[in-house]
Structure 1
């Protein structure tokens, strides 16, 4: 399942992705493709993981 680190997603976002993937699998999409589509959908709707921590990229300080 893990294509990337999902630790920054809330439990609600994980449940949403699981539910979306199940729907796609029910209609004949492969498990791998269904999960990919599900996470793309969650990212599109919610803007990515909601837990604090960020991407690891430093923000520039204003001087």
Structure 2
């Protein structure tokens, strides 16, 4: 957890991490899931300095319950693919549709 996190967010992080470990996730994966979930909730509550559009406008982590995990029939959303493309530095991403983003990300792996 980032320094200066509230006790509530610390407890939330630990609870999510413990839950993931109980479900068989590796230590690294459990920490990643917990951190991403808590960071999204911090962004939605206005507790972070920066936040992506999908963190603020998308449904909450609790409501989502895995629907946007990328494992469903339609896969990750356009916004999720766009954010990943931005993180990987893929040029021309703003003009790409969902399928083009998916292909560009697959090629960059």
TM category, shorter: 0.5 to 0.7
Aligned equivalent of 1:44, options 21, 40, 46 = 40
Inter-partner Cα distance in structure 1 for 2:35 and 2:43: 11
2:64 paired residue number: none
Whole-angstrom CA distance in 2 between matches of 1:29 and 1:35 = 9
Secondary structure (helix, strand or coil) at the match of 1:47 reads helix
Higher RCO (C-alpha 8 Å, min separation 6):
1
Q: How many residues align?
A: 49
Query: Which one of the candidate residues 5, 11, 18 is aligned to 2:14?
Result: 18
Alignment partner, residue 59 of structure 1:
none
Higher-Rg structure is 2
Q: Distance in 1 between matches of 2:4 and 2:32?
A: 17
Root-mean-square deviation (CA, aligned residues, Å) is: 2.5
Q: Secondary structure at the match of 2:3?
A: coil
**Higher relative helix content:** 2
Q: TM-score, normalised by structure 1?
A: 0.63
Which blocks of at least 5 consecutive residues in structure 1 are unaligned? 56-63
Q: Which runs of 4+ in 1 moved over 4 A?
A: none
